[in-house]
Structure 1
Protein backbone atom coordinates (compact mmCIF):
# COMPACT_ATOMS: atom_id res chain seq x y z
CA UNK A 1 0.00 0.00 0.00
CA UNK A 2 2.89 2.35 0.78
CA UNK A 3 4.35 1.87 -2.70
CA UNK A 4 0.96 2.54 -4.30
CA UNK A 5 0.54 5.68 -2.20
CA UNK A 6 4.04 6.90 -3.15
CA UNK A 7 3.54 6.27 -6.87
CA UNK A 8 0.14 7.98 -6.77
CA UNK A 9 1.65 10.94 -4.89
CA UNK A 10 4.33 11.29 -7.56
CA UNK A 11 1.63 11.19 -10.25
CA UNK A 12 -0.40 13.87 -8.47
CA UNK A 13 2.70 16.05 -8.12
CA UNK A 14 3.55 15.46 -11.77
CA UNK A 15 0.18 16.96 -12.72
CA UNK A 16 1.54 20.33 -11.57
CA UNK A 17 4.53 19.85 -13.86
CA UNK A 18 2.21 18.97 -16.75
CA UNK A 19 0.32 22.20 -16.16
CA UNK A 20 3.60 24.12 -16.11
CA UNK A 21 4.61 22.60 -19.45
CA UNK A 22 1.20 23.44 -20.93
CA UNK A 23 1.74 27.07 -19.91
CA UNK A 24 4.65 27.27 -22.34
CA UNK A 25 2.50 25.84 -25.13
CA UNK A 26 -0.70 27.77 -24.47
CA UNK A 27 1.08 30.96 -23.26
CA UNK A 28 -2.23 32.75 -22.69
CA UNK A 29 -5.76 31.55 -22.03
CA UNK A 30 -8.98 33.54 -21.75
CA UNK A 31 -10.49 34.36 -18.37
CA UNK A 32 -13.65 32.51 -19.40
CA UNK A 33 -11.84 29.26 -20.20
CA UNK A 34 -9.62 29.54 -17.14
CA UNK A 35 -12.61 30.15 -14.86
CA UNK A 36 -14.54 27.21 -16.29
CA UNK A 37 -11.51 24.92 -16.01
CA UNK A 38 -10.81 25.88 -12.39
CA UNK A 39 -14.52 25.65 -11.54
CA UNK A 40 -14.70 22.15 -13.00
CA UNK A 41 -11.67 21.19 -10.87
CA UNK A 42 -13.41 22.74 -7.84
CA UNK A 43 -16.47 20.56 -8.49
CA UNK A 44 -14.24 17.50 -8.78
CA UNK A 45 -12.57 18.33 -5.45
CA UNK A 46 -15.93 19.05 -3.80
CA UNK A 47 -17.22 15.64 -4.86
CA UNK A 48 -14.04 13.93 -3.65
CA UNK A 49 -14.33 15.72 -0.31
CA UNK A 50 -17.90 14.54 0.19
CA UNK A 51 -17.77 10.99 -1.19
CA UNK A 52 -14.22 9.97 -0.25
CA UNK A 53 -13.47 11.88 2.95
CA UNK A 54 -16.51 13.18 4.86
CA UNK A 55 -18.83 10.19 4.32
CA UNK A 56 -16.17 7.57 5.26
CA UNK A 57 -15.34 9.66 8.32
CA UNK A 58 -19.01 9.64 9.41
CA UNK A 59 -19.32 5.91 8.78
CA UNK A 60 -16.16 5.05 10.71
CA UNK A 61 -16.54 7.46 13.60
CA UNK A 62 -18.70 5.19 15.72
CA UNK A 63 -21.31 6.45 18.18
CA UNK A 64 -19.95 9.98 18.19
CA UNK A 65 -19.01 10.01 14.51
CA UNK A 66 -20.90 13.22 13.76
CA UNK A 67 -18.87 15.12 16.37
CA UNK A 68 -15.58 13.54 15.28
CA UNK A 69 -16.26 14.47 11.65
CA UNK A 70 -17.39 18.00 12.48
CA UNK A 71 -14.32 18.53 14.66
CA UNK A 72 -12.03 17.19 11.94
CA UNK A 73 -13.52 19.43 9.25
CA UNK A 74 -13.14 22.49 11.49
CA UNK A 75 -9.57 21.49 12.38
CA UNK A 76 -8.69 21.11 8.70
CA UNK A 77 -10.07 24.53 7.84
CA UNK A 78 -8.18 26.07 10.77
CA UNK A 79 -4.97 24.35 9.65
CA UNK A 80 -5.08 25.99 6.23
CA UNK A 81 -6.07 29.29 7.83
CA UNK A 82 -2.90 29.16 9.93
CA UNK A 83 -0.83 28.33 6.86
CA UNK A 84 -2.38 31.30 5.08
CA UNK A 85 -1.26 33.56 7.91
CA UNK A 86 2.24 32.12 8.02
CA UNK A 87 2.85 32.52 4.30
CA UNK A 88 1.38 35.33 2.15
CA UNK A 89 -1.38 34.15 -0.16
CA UNK A 90 -0.60 33.05 -3.69
CA UNK A 91 -2.89 35.59 -5.39
CA UNK A 92 -1.16 38.57 -3.78
CA UNK A 93 1.93 37.82 -5.83
CA UNK A 94 0.28 37.73 -9.23
CA UNK A 95 1.17 41.02 -10.92
CA UNK A 96 2.72 42.39 -7.72
CA UNK A 97 4.60 45.69 -7.89
CA UNK A 98 8.26 45.84 -6.93
CA UNK A 99 8.25 46.71 -3.23
CA UNK A 100 12.00 47.15 -2.91
CA UNK A 101 12.54 43.79 -1.26
CA UNK A 102 14.03 42.27 -4.38
CA UNK A 103 12.89 39.71 -6.91
CA UNK A 104 14.52 36.75 -5.19
CA UNK A 105 12.75 37.47 -1.90
CA UNK A 106 9.33 37.80 -3.56
CA UNK A 107 9.85 34.61 -5.54
CA UNK A 108 10.83 32.73 -2.38
CA UNK A 109 7.59 33.80 -0.71
CA UNK A 110 5.66 32.95 -3.86
CA UNK A 111 7.05 29.42 -3.95
CA UNK A 112 6.43 28.93 -0.22
CA UNK A 113 2.82 30.03 -0.64
CA UNK A 114 2.22 27.42 -3.34
CA UNK A 115 4.06 24.74 -1.37
CA UNK A 116 2.04 25.29 1.81
CA UNK A 117 -1.20 25.06 -0.15
CA UNK A 118 -0.09 21.82 -1.81
CA UNK A 119 0.88 20.14 1.46
CA UNK A 120 -2.65 19.54 2.86
CA UNK A 121 -3.84 18.36 -0.55
CA UNK A 122 -1.14 15.70 -0.54
CA UNK A 123 -2.08 14.79 3.03
CA UNK A 124 -5.64 14.14 1.87
CA UNK A 125 -4.37 11.55 -0.63
CA UNK A 126 -2.07 9.97 1.97
CA UNK A 127 -4.85 9.69 4.55
CA UNK A 128 -7.03 7.98 1.96
CA UNK A 129 -4.41 5.32 1.26
CA UNK A 130 -3.55 4.98 4.94
CA UNK A 131 -7.16 4.06 5.62
CA UNK A 132 -6.84 1.10 3.25
CA UNK A 133 -9.59 2.14 0.84
CA UNK A 134 -7.77 2.33 -2.50
CA UNK A 135 -10.90 3.39 -4.38
CA UNK A 136 -11.50 6.44 -2.20
CA UNK A 137 -7.80 7.32 -2.24
CA UNK A 138 -7.65 7.16 -6.05
CA UNK A 139 -10.78 9.31 -6.31
CA UNK A 140 -9.14 11.97 -4.15
CA UNK A 141 -5.90 11.72 -6.13
CA UNK A 142 -7.71 12.14 -9.47
CA UNK A 143 -9.57 15.17 -8.14
CA UNK A 144 -6.41 16.89 -6.90
CA UNK A 145 -4.42 15.98 -10.02
CA UNK A 146 -7.08 17.59 -12.22
CA UNK A 147 -6.90 20.71 -10.06
CA UNK A 148 -3.09 20.74 -10.22
CA UNK A 149 -2.96 21.07 -14.00
CA UNK A 150 -4.51 24.57 -14.22
CA UNK A 151 -2.69 25.49 -10.98
CA UNK A 152 0.61 24.59 -12.64
CA UNK A 153 -0.25 26.84 -15.57
CA UNK A 154 -1.14 29.73 -13.28
CA UNK A 155 2.07 29.25 -11.28
CA UNK A 156 4.40 29.68 -14.22
CA UNK A 157 3.17 33.05 -15.49
CA UNK A 158 4.16 35.17 -12.44
CA UNK A 159 7.57 33.48 -12.33
CA UNK A 160 8.24 34.37 -15.95
CA UNK A 161 6.97 37.91 -15.36
CA UNK A 162 9.42 38.21 -12.47
CA UNK A 163 12.31 37.48 -14.84
CA UNK A 164 13.02 33.79 -14.27
CA UNK A 165 14.24 31.74 -17.19
CA UNK A 166 11.92 29.08 -18.59
CA UNK A 167 14.11 26.28 -17.22
CA UNK A 168 14.22 27.74 -13.72
CA UNK A 169 10.49 28.47 -13.71
CA UNK A 170 9.81 24.89 -14.75
CA UNK A 171 12.11 23.62 -11.98
CA UNK A 172 10.22 25.72 -9.41
CA UNK A 173 6.92 24.33 -10.68
CA UNK A 174 8.24 20.78 -10.35
CA UNK A 175 9.44 21.44 -6.79
CA UNK A 176 6.03 22.73 -5.71
CA UNK A 177 4.55 19.50 -7.05
CA UNK A 178 7.02 17.44 -5.01
CA UNK A 179 5.72 19.08 -1.83
CA UNK A 180 2.47 17.25 -2.53
CA UNK A 181 4.40 13.96 -2.39
CA UNK A 182 5.65 14.95 1.08
CA UNK A 183 2.05 15.57 2.11
CA UNK A 184 1.09 12.09 0.89
CA UNK A 185 3.82 10.54 3.03
CA UNK A 186 2.79 12.55 6.11
CA UNK A 187 -0.87 11.63 5.74
CA UNK A 188 -0.17 7.95 5.07
CA UNK A 189 2.26 7.65 8.00
CA UNK A 190 -0.08 9.42 10.41
CA UNK A 191 -2.95 7.05 9.71
CA UNK A 192 -0.71 3.97 9.72
CA UNK A 193 0.78 4.81 13.11
CA UNK A 194 -2.50 5.82 14.75
CA UNK A 195 -5.27 3.89 12.99
CA UNK A 196 -7.85 4.94 15.57
CA UNK A 197 -7.49 8.54 14.36
CA UNK A 198 -8.56 7.64 10.81
CA UNK A 199 -12.12 9.14 10.98
CA UNK A 200 -10.76 12.39 12.40
CA UNK A 201 -7.90 12.60 9.87
CA UNK A 202 -10.28 11.89 6.98
CA UNK A 203 -12.48 14.75 8.16
CA UNK A 204 -9.43 16.97 8.67
CA UNK A 205 -8.33 16.33 5.09
CA UNK A 206 -11.88 17.13 3.99
CA UNK A 207 -11.78 20.40 5.90
CA UNK A 208 -8.55 21.46 4.19
CA UNK A 209 -10.05 20.77 0.77
CA UNK A 210 -13.31 22.57 1.59
CA UNK A 211 -11.29 25.61 2.67
CA UNK A 212 -9.26 25.66 -0.55
CA UNK A 213 -12.41 25.25 -2.67
CA UNK A 214 -14.37 27.98 -0.90
CA UNK A 215 -11.61 30.46 -0.10
CA UNK A 216 -9.39 30.15 -3.18
CA UNK A 217 -11.00 28.42 -6.14
CA UNK A 218 -14.65 29.51 -6.28
CA UNK A 219 -14.01 33.24 -5.57
CA UNK A 220 -11.37 33.23 -8.30
CA UNK A 221 -13.66 31.55 -10.86
CA UNK A 222 -16.58 33.88 -10.13
CA UNK A 223 -14.75 37.20 -10.25
CA UNK A 224 -14.36 37.85 -13.98
CA UNK A 225 -17.95 38.07 -15.19
CA UNK A 226 -18.43 34.39 -16.02
CA UNK A 227 -20.08 33.27 -12.78
CA UNK A 228 -22.93 31.34 -14.47
CA UNK A 229 -20.57 29.36 -16.69
CA UNK A 230 -18.34 28.69 -13.69
CA UNK A 231 -21.31 27.54 -11.59
CA UNK A 232 -22.37 24.96 -14.18
CA UNK A 233 -18.73 23.87 -14.46
CA UNK A 234 -18.67 23.24 -10.69
CA UNK A 235 -21.83 21.14 -11.03
CA UNK A 236 -20.34 19.24 -13.98
CA UNK A 237 -17.18 18.54 -11.97
CA UNK A 238 -19.22 17.28 -9.00
CA UNK A 239 -21.22 14.94 -11.26
CA UNK A 240 -18.00 13.72 -12.90
CA UNK A 241 -16.65 12.91 -9.44
CA UNK A 242 -19.80 10.88 -8.68
CA UNK A 243 -19.07 8.68 -11.70
CA UNK A 244 -15.38 8.38 -10.77
CA UNK A 245 -16.26 7.41 -7.21
CA UNK A 246 -18.81 4.87 -8.50
CA UNK A 247 -16.25 3.32 -10.87
CA UNK A 248 -13.56 2.95 -8.22
Structure 2
Protein backbone atom coordinates (compact mmCIF):
# COMPACT_ATOMS: atom_id res chain seq x y z
CA UNK A 1 0.00 0.00 0.00
CA UNK A 2 2.76 2.44 0.88
CA UNK A 3 4.63 1.61 -2.31
CA UNK A 4 1.49 1.92 -4.44
CA UNK A 5 0.79 5.30 -2.85
CA UNK A 6 4.19 6.69 -3.81
CA UNK A 7 4.92 4.99 -7.12
CA UNK A 8 1.43 4.96 -8.64
CA UNK A 9 -0.18 8.08 -7.16
CA UNK A 10 2.08 10.76 -5.69
CA UNK A 11 4.99 10.60 -8.14
CA UNK A 12 2.74 10.43 -11.24
CA UNK A 13 0.76 13.39 -9.86
CA UNK A 14 3.93 15.48 -9.67
CA UNK A 15 4.85 14.46 -13.22
CA UNK A 16 1.44 15.49 -14.57
CA UNK A 17 1.21 18.96 -13.07
CA UNK A 18 2.32 21.45 -15.71
CA UNK A 19 2.41 25.14 -16.41
CA UNK A 20 4.79 26.12 -13.66
CA UNK A 21 8.22 25.54 -12.25
CA UNK A 22 9.20 22.27 -10.66
CA UNK A 23 8.71 23.83 -7.23
CA UNK A 24 5.25 25.12 -8.17
CA UNK A 25 4.21 21.72 -9.49
CA UNK A 26 5.45 20.07 -6.30
CA UNK A 27 3.48 22.64 -4.31
CA UNK A 28 0.28 21.77 -6.17
CA UNK A 29 0.90 18.07 -5.58
CA UNK A 30 1.43 18.72 -1.88
CA UNK A 31 -1.81 20.74 -1.77
CA UNK A 32 -3.73 17.84 -3.29
CA UNK A 33 -2.04 15.38 -0.95
CA UNK A 34 -2.96 17.43 2.13
CA UNK A 35 -6.53 17.84 0.87
CA UNK A 36 -6.92 14.08 0.54
CA UNK A 37 -5.43 13.47 3.96
CA UNK A 38 -7.64 16.15 5.53
CA UNK A 39 -10.75 14.58 4.02
CA UNK A 40 -9.89 11.23 5.58
CA UNK A 41 -9.07 12.90 8.90
CA UNK A 42 -12.54 14.48 8.98
CA UNK A 43 -14.18 11.20 8.00
CA UNK A 44 -12.23 9.37 10.69
CA UNK A 45 -13.21 11.97 13.27
CA UNK A 46 -16.91 12.37 12.53
CA UNK A 47 -18.08 9.11 10.94
CA UNK A 48 -18.89 6.65 13.74
CA UNK A 49 -16.88 3.45 13.41
CA UNK A 50 -15.07 0.82 15.47
CA UNK A 51 -11.62 -0.71 15.12
CA UNK A 52 -10.97 -4.27 16.19
CA UNK A 53 -8.13 -3.20 18.50
CA UNK A 54 -8.73 0.48 19.30
CA UNK A 55 -12.47 0.31 19.86
CA UNK A 56 -15.15 2.86 18.86
CA UNK A 57 -14.27 6.23 17.34
CA UNK A 58 -16.14 9.07 15.67
CA UNK A 59 -19.22 10.97 16.78
CA UNK A 60 -22.23 9.22 18.36
CA UNK A 61 -20.65 5.78 17.95
CA UNK A 62 -22.45 4.41 21.02
CA UNK A 63 -25.86 4.85 19.36
CA UNK A 64 -25.12 2.57 16.39
CA UNK A 65 -25.03 -1.21 16.31
CA UNK A 66 -21.53 -2.60 16.65
CA UNK A 67 -21.78 -4.49 13.36
CA UNK A 68 -22.31 -1.27 11.40
CA UNK A 69 -19.44 0.38 13.24
CA UNK A 70 -17.15 -2.31 11.82
CA UNK A 71 -18.65 -1.78 8.35
CA UNK A 72 -18.03 1.96 8.55
CA UNK A 73 -14.47 1.43 9.79
CA UNK A 74 -13.49 -0.77 6.86
CA UNK A 75 -15.50 1.45 4.52
CA UNK A 76 -13.46 4.50 5.52
CA UNK A 77 -10.39 2.44 4.68
CA UNK A 78 -11.69 1.06 1.37
CA UNK A 79 -13.18 4.24 -0.09
CA UNK A 80 -9.82 5.95 -0.76
CA UNK A 81 -8.46 2.68 -2.16
CA UNK A 82 -11.32 2.62 -4.64
CA UNK A 83 -10.86 6.29 -5.51
CA UNK A 84 -7.16 5.66 -6.09
CA UNK A 85 -7.99 2.79 -8.44
CA UNK A 86 -10.53 4.91 -10.30
CA UNK A 87 -8.12 7.81 -10.71
CA UNK A 88 -5.27 5.50 -11.68
CA UNK A 89 -7.40 3.83 -14.33
CA UNK A 90 -8.50 7.26 -15.54
CA UNK A 91 -4.92 8.09 -16.47
CA UNK A 92 -5.12 5.65 -19.36
CA UNK A 93 -1.52 4.76 -18.54
CA UNK A 94 -1.05 1.06 -17.86
CA UNK A 95 2.31 1.70 -16.21
CA UNK A 96 0.33 3.46 -13.46
CA UNK A 97 -2.96 1.56 -13.39
CA UNK A 98 -1.63 -2.01 -13.60
CA UNK A 99 0.79 -1.88 -10.64
CA UNK A 100 -1.82 0.03 -8.65
CA UNK A 101 -4.51 -2.57 -9.36
CA UNK A 102 -2.10 -5.42 -8.68
CA UNK A 103 -0.83 -3.97 -5.41
CA UNK A 104 -4.23 -3.09 -3.99
CA UNK A 105 -5.75 -6.33 -5.27
CA UNK A 106 -3.09 -8.43 -3.56
CA UNK A 107 -3.59 -6.48 -0.36
CA UNK A 108 -7.38 -6.89 -0.48
CA UNK A 109 -7.27 -10.70 -0.43
CA UNK A 110 -5.77 -11.10 3.06
CA UNK A 111 -7.60 -7.97 4.24
CA UNK A 112 -10.98 -9.50 3.39
CA UNK A 113 -10.05 -12.73 5.13
CA UNK A 114 -8.90 -10.83 8.22
CA UNK A 115 -12.11 -8.80 8.38
CA UNK A 116 -14.27 -11.93 8.13
CA UNK A 117 -12.23 -13.90 10.68
CA UNK A 118 -12.12 -10.97 13.09
CA UNK A 119 -15.89 -10.58 12.95
CA UNK A 120 -16.34 -14.30 13.61
CA UNK A 121 -13.93 -14.01 16.54
CA UNK A 122 -16.07 -11.14 17.86
CA UNK A 123 -19.05 -13.50 17.96
CA UNK A 124 -20.78 -12.66 14.69
CA UNK A 125 -22.21 -15.47 12.55
CA UNK A 126 -20.26 -16.62 9.50
CA UNK A 127 -23.05 -15.42 7.21
CA UNK A 128 -22.90 -11.97 8.79
CA UNK A 129 -19.12 -11.86 8.46
CA UNK A 130 -19.37 -12.67 4.75
CA UNK A 131 -22.05 -10.00 4.29
CA UNK A 132 -19.91 -7.35 5.97
CA UNK A 133 -16.86 -8.29 3.91
CA UNK A 134 -18.87 -8.03 0.68
CA UNK A 135 -20.41 -4.73 1.81
CA UNK A 136 -17.01 -3.19 2.43
CA UNK A 137 -15.91 -4.37 -1.01
CA UNK A 138 -18.91 -2.56 -2.48
CA UNK A 139 -17.66 0.64 -0.84
CA UNK A 140 -14.40 0.26 -2.75
CA UNK A 141 -16.34 -0.15 -6.00
CA UNK A 142 -18.19 3.09 -5.26
CA UNK A 143 -14.81 4.76 -4.72
CA UNK A 144 -13.66 3.53 -8.14
CA UNK A 145 -16.69 5.16 -9.76
CA UNK A 146 -16.10 8.43 -7.90
CA UNK A 147 -12.43 8.57 -8.87
CA UNK A 148 -12.96 7.61 -12.50
CA UNK A 149 -15.88 10.03 -12.89
CA UNK A 150 -13.95 12.92 -11.37
CA UNK A 151 -10.99 12.63 -13.73
CA UNK A 152 -13.30 11.86 -16.64
CA UNK A 153 -14.80 15.35 -16.51
CA UNK A 154 -11.52 17.10 -17.19
CA UNK A 155 -7.94 16.09 -17.86
CA UNK A 156 -6.90 18.94 -15.57
CA UNK A 157 -8.45 17.03 -12.65
CA UNK A 158 -6.14 14.06 -13.14
CA UNK A 159 -3.04 15.25 -11.22
CA UNK A 160 -5.26 16.65 -8.46
CA UNK A 161 -7.09 13.34 -8.23
CA UNK A 162 -3.83 11.40 -8.11
CA UNK A 163 -2.33 13.58 -5.38
CA UNK A 164 -5.54 13.69 -3.32
CA UNK A 165 -5.92 9.91 -3.56
CA UNK A 166 -2.28 9.56 -2.52
CA UNK A 167 -2.89 11.79 0.48
CA UNK A 168 -5.94 9.80 1.52
CA UNK A 169 -4.05 6.53 1.20
CA UNK A 170 -1.07 7.92 3.10
CA UNK A 171 -3.37 9.01 5.92
CA UNK A 172 -4.93 5.55 6.16
CA UNK A 173 -1.51 3.88 6.17
CA UNK A 174 -0.11 6.15 8.88
CA UNK A 175 -3.24 6.48 11.01
CA UNK A 176 -4.73 3.01 10.75
CA UNK A 177 -2.58 0.30 9.20
CA UNK A 178 0.85 0.88 10.72
CA UNK A 179 -0.39 1.46 14.30
CA UNK A 180 -2.66 -1.60 14.15
CA UNK A 181 0.09 -3.89 12.88
CA UNK A 182 2.67 -2.61 15.38
CA UNK A 183 0.64 -3.65 18.44
CA UNK A 184 0.87 -6.71 20.66
CA UNK A 185 4.57 -7.36 20.20
CA UNK A 186 4.54 -7.69 16.40
CA UNK A 187 6.62 -4.58 15.70
CA UNK A 188 9.48 -6.42 13.98
CA UNK A 189 7.22 -8.63 11.87
CA UNK A 190 5.10 -5.63 10.85
CA UNK A 191 8.17 -3.64 9.86
CA UNK A 192 9.50 -6.56 7.83
CA UNK A 193 6.13 -6.91 6.11
CA UNK A 194 6.06 -3.20 5.27
CA UNK A 195 9.55 -3.31 3.77
CA UNK A 196 8.81 -6.46 1.76
CA UNK A 197 5.58 -4.96 0.45
CA UNK A 198 7.32 -1.72 -0.49
CA UNK A 199 10.06 -3.66 -2.28
CA UNK A 200 7.45 -5.70 -4.17
CA UNK A 201 5.78 -2.51 -5.39
CA UNK A 202 9.15 -1.18 -6.55
CA UNK A 203 9.58 -4.35 -8.61
CA UNK A 204 6.01 -4.25 -9.94
CA UNK A 205 6.29 -0.59 -10.88
CA UNK A 206 9.46 -1.18 -12.87
CA UNK A 207 8.13 -4.40 -14.39
CA UNK A 208 5.14 -2.57 -15.88
CA UNK A 209 7.37 0.24 -17.09
CA UNK A 210 9.27 -2.18 -19.31
Are 2:14 and 1:54 aligned?
no
The alpha carbon displacement at 1:214 in A equals 0.9
Q: Which has the higher contact order (CA 8 A, sep 6+)?
A: 1
Q: Any idea what the Cα deviations from partners look like across 1:98-117, whole Å, max 9, x if unmatched?
A: xxx68x71212221221222
The aligned counterpart of 2:158 is 198
**What SS does the aligned partner of 1:132 have?**
coil
The alpha carbon displacement at 1:93 in A equals 7.1
1:108 to 49, 60, 68: 68
1:178 to 114, 123, 138: 138
When residues 191 and 214 of structure 1 are mapped into structure 2, their CA distance, relative to the original with a 3 A threshold, is same
Q: Any idea what the Cα deviations from partners look like across 1:5-56, whole Å, max 9, x if unmatched?
A: xxxxxxxxxxxxxxxxxxxxxxxxxxxxxxxxxxxxxxxx111111111111
**Mapping of residues 1-248 of structure 1, within 5 Å:** 45-62=1-18, 63=20, 64-91=24-51, 105-248=65-208
Normalized against structure 2, the TM-score is what?
0.86
**What SS does the aligned partner of 1:68 have?**
helix
CA RMSD between the two structures: 2.1
Q: Any idea what the Cα deviations from partners look like across 1:193-246, whole Å, max 9, x if unmatched?
A: 021011111000110111111111111222222322322221111111011111
Given that 2:2 and 2:173 are in contact with CA atoms closer than 8 Å, whether structure 1 keeps it comes out as: yes
For structure 1, which runs of at least 5 residues remain unmatched after alignment? 1-44
Given that 2:52 and 2:118 are in contact with CA atoms closer than 8 Å, whether structure 1 keeps it comes out as: no
Structure with more of its chain in helix, by fraction: 1
Normalized against structure 1, the TM-score is what?
0.73
Q: Any idea what the Cα deviations from partners look like across 1:50-92, whole Å, max 9, x if unmatched?
A: 1111111111112121111000110111111111112234415
Aligned length: 199
Aligned equivalents of 1:137 and 1:150: distance in 2? 21
Given that 2:116 and 2:130 are in contact with CA atoms closer than 8 Å, whether structure 1 keeps it comes out as: yes
